[in-house]
Amino acid sequence: MVQEYKLLFAGGMGVGKTTAISAVSEIPPVSTDVANSDREAFDKELTTVTLDYGRITLPSGDRLRLYGIPGQQRFSFMWAMLEHGAMGMVLLADASRPDPFAELDIFLKSFHKLLRSGRAVLGVGRLSKRRGALDKYVAKLARRKIKIPVFSVDVRKKKDVLLLLDALFTQIEVLEDDYRGGEPAEKAAQSASSAHDPAGGLADSNAPAEGGKPSEKTNRGVFPVSDKEPAKDSEPSQTTQSANETTV
Amino acid sequence: MKPLSKIQATALQLRLNHCCARVPEIQLILLATVDGFQQVVAGSQRGDAELPEKFAAIASSMMALGDAAGREVGSKTRLEAVVLDLSDLRVILRMVDGGKQQFVLATVAERKVSLSILLKIVYENARLLEEALR
């Protein structure tokens, strides 16, 4: 029987939720973008005011329904509605913001239940290439007792978004194994991470080679990957950093 | 960016106040930017500390969702209005074309005002606001 899974994309305004969903959705995403009148706060032409919606059908026939939240706090009345029934969450952050941790904190508080359950991953965009740049994010999560994989990503790249989804599914599957077998909860995060260990070559082990087919051993190999990148980007440009760093 | 000048805001405020005075069943009229910022508010509920700000965001979301729903079912034009028919209240959201910028006009009224009359009032208000905004 075909299963339907609801996944949430969360994060502040302009972190790339709409772009991420557009990058991987097999249907033209349902978008509720309108003109952004607050260009002083964030210089972006359009902003999402209700939701984004996209869909991925897995080789098994199961479907992922991807929901993006509106990132601005005045739309927080939508957050709980969209979170309802979500199996997991991709949380996105933008390291180039003046205070990315304060912004991240809003979502760590608002979605603490889902995050504390471990059914989530954090993707950080526009991260400096300095070694260990992700450590502050891991420490931030740890202070809130959140143990999820953290990746440096460029959500304009389909393979980076698929990496996040693969890691999320690994995380969820390990947690389910844990539920059945009594494995410690934090092992889930470690498990997801080990599949993307930078020493072992994250991009090699999880994201497929350019133009290649998905690796058989990528997590559970749930995401088919085509070599086509999205035709255009609707978000501000990001650095060309690829998903090559991860930690938990 | 401040979408309304003081003169525009005052003119719109007077217009909305006049409408509320003329139709006391109208509890709230609110003009918001399409991305959910409150611009002008009138009516008996305007004194509520949080309602106008919150409702501006909700109105913006609902209009955007209505627009998305219209596109999905094959509509080739932009959404004009969303009507909420509650057992005690009616809420009508109407797009207002301000030339350079789009706005949402939200009107909340008791249900004793018939839908046709309320729609007439809302569309007339929207037309007058559009004239003032251009």
| Distance between A2 CA and the closest CA of chain B, angstroms | 24
pLDDT computed for residue A237 by the predictor? 34
Q: Residues 6 or more apart from A198 whose CB is under 8 A from it?
A: A244, A245, A246
For the residues A86-107, what does the mean pLDDT come to? 96
Question: Can you tell me the ipTM of this complex?
Answer: 0.85
| B71-94 tens-digit pLDDT | 999 999 989 999 999 999 999 999
Residue B116 has pLDDT above 90, yes or no: yes
Provide, as residue numbers in chain B, all residues whose Cβ is less than 8 Å from the Cβ of A32: 61, 64-65, 67-68
Using pLDDT thresholds of 50, 70 and 90, give the confidence band for residue B48: confident
d(CA B75, CA B67): 9
| pLDDT of amino acid A222 | 57
Q: Is A191 left (phi over 0), alpha (psi -120 to 50) or beta?
A: alpha
Residue in chain B lying closest to A75 (CA): B57
CATH code: domain B6-133 is 3.30.450.30
Spatial distance between the Cα atoms of A3 and A58, rounded to a whole number of angstroms: 10
| Mean pLDDT in residue range B2-12 | 83
Write out residues 42-81 of A within 8 Å (CB-CB) of B. 47, 49-51, 70, 72, 74-75, 77-78
Whether residue A190 has pLDDT greater than 70: no
- Res A146 pLDDT > 50: yes
A13, A39, A50, best to mutate vs chain B, most B CBs in 10 Å:
A50
Tokens of B81: 């209005």
Determine which of A2-11, A18-27, A64-73, A222-231 has the lowest per-residue pLDDT on average.
A222-231
Q: What mean pLDDT do residues A36-62 have? A: 93
Domain A4-247, CATH among 1.50.10.20, 3.10.20.30, 3.40.50.300, 3.40.1000.10: 3.40.50.300
Average pLDDT over chain A, rounded to an integer: 80
Q: Which helix (H) or strand (E) holds A83?
A: helix A77-83
CA distance B84 to A223: 41
Q: What are the residue boundaries of the structural domains of chain A, listed by start?
A: 4-247
| Pairing state between β A63-68 and A4-10 | parallel
Pairing of strands A46-57, A30-35: antiparallel
Q: A29 and A18 in contact (C-beta within 8 Å)? A: yes
Best probe of the A interface among B1, B35, B60, B63, by most A CBs < 10 A, is B35
pLDDT of residue B59: 97
Which stretch of DSSP H or E encloses residue A19?
helix A17-24
Per-residue confidence (pLDDT) for residue A239, from 0 to 100? 33
CB of A15 closer than 8 Å to CB of A123: no
Q: Is the pLDDT of residue A139 over 60?
A: yes
Q: What residue segments make up the domains of chain B, in order of their start?
A: 6-133
Q: Is A38 on the interface with B (CB under 8 A)?
A: yes
